[in-house]
Amino acid sequence: MSTGQFVSRCTADAMSSAATSIKDGNLVAFPTETVYGLGADASQEKAVAKIYATKGRPADHPLIVHISSMGGIGYWADEVSDYAIALARAFWPGPMTLICKRSTAAKDFVTGGQETVGLRVPDHVVALALLDAAKEIGVHGIAAPSANRFGHVSPTTAEAVREELDQYFSPQDIILDGGPSRVGVESTIIDCTGNNPHILRPGAITQAMIEEVTGLKVTDAQNEIRVSGSLENHYAPQAIVALDTTPQLGDGYIAMSNRPTPAGVIRLASPQSIEEYARILYASLRDGDSQKLSRICIDQPQGDGLAIAICDRLQRAARGR
């Protein structure tokens, strides 16, 4: 069983050795405001291959390239639309990934052979410090999917990364602990290659926010059949996820705090706001698994904005592993 190095004190020295480790072709799991990422130098094929092996993910799934600032867009993308620039200005660093036409720097091994590349500037001091330190030694971007095994729930703490992936790490690999992720669901993914922005995955940056900044009508992928390989199918715990049903004896239960817990039901979370719901959802699902519950009943949150992102993940989780 291999073990990565677990680093809780993210000092400047720790960041520069993590950056050096990335440059040397190793993996570094790092915190972001959405979920934890599993990072490698986006320009090194062998390093990126380690991400796929560690996650158990099919190699034709594209990875998001994380950059330290907007300045990195031009390195990885060509013919970037004006509205994409407007979005980057408004929401980076933040929970938003822009899909742009790739430059020659974005190789097939990171784009999954697609002609586009996904770019994101995360809003977390540790992620930004790592990206800055890596850039100083010539690493232009860090490719990183969520730091979970393929199809599982994304990790929102360093401890959850360790539980998911430790046995697949090499001793040179590193987990940076930056505390629990503040947002808790993955970034909004926006396809910026067409005349209008198109939401591929809902997140904390909402349709209304995008329309306000760009002045353009946004289309979304909610009701489309997803192209195989373009987005992951599920974010599922071991337990069966049942949506909007009355929990029975021995079931786990996640619902807003104003919903009572029936007798004999194990309450896993009682968020008081949509933001709190997003922030604690994945940890609550993991909690249900660690208690070996066979079923978790979840009341979907009402509303638009972040509630749409939560319901998107819940519906995939309900489809199972």
- Beta carbon nearer to Mg ion, 133 or 158: 158
- The full DSSP string for 158-171 is HHHHHHHHGGG--T
**23 interface partner picked from ligand TXA, Mg ion, none, CB below 5 to 8 A per type:** none
**Site track for ligand TXA across 261-300, x = CB under 6 A:** ----------------------------------------
The count of other CB atoms within 10 Å of the CB of residue 226 is 12
Q: Which residues pair with 254 in a beta bridge?
A: 269, 298
**Site track for ligand TXA across 219-258, x = CB under 6 A:** -----------xxx--------------------------
Binding ligand TXA (rule: CB under 6 A), the pick from 62, 247, 271, 288 is 62
Q: Per the structure block, which two tokens stand in for 172?
A: 């040179």
Say whether residue 312 binds ligand TXA (CB under 6 A).
Answer: no
Residues in contact with 135: Cβ distance below 8 Å, sequence separation at least 6, in sequence order: 68
- Beta carbon nearer to ligand TXA, 51 or 133: 51
Residues in contact with 56: Cβ distance below 8 Å, sequence separation at least 6, in sequence order: 149, 150, 168
The residue to which tokens 């004999």 are assigned: 264
Q: One-letter amino acid identity for 82?
A: D
Binding Mg ion (rule: CB under 5 A), the pick from 146, 188, 207, 214 is 146
Say whether residue 35 binds ligand TXA (CB under 6 A).
Answer: yes
Say whether residue 193 binds ligand TXA (CB under 6 A).
Answer: no
Binding ligand TXA (rule: CB under 6 A), the pick from 50, 120, 279, 313 is 120
Least distance in angstroms from the C-beta of 232 to Mg ion = 5
Say whether residue 149 binds ligand TXA (CB under 6 A).
Answer: no
CB contact at 8 A, 109 and 45: yes
- Nearest partner of 151 among 268, 66, 48, 56, judged by Cα: 56
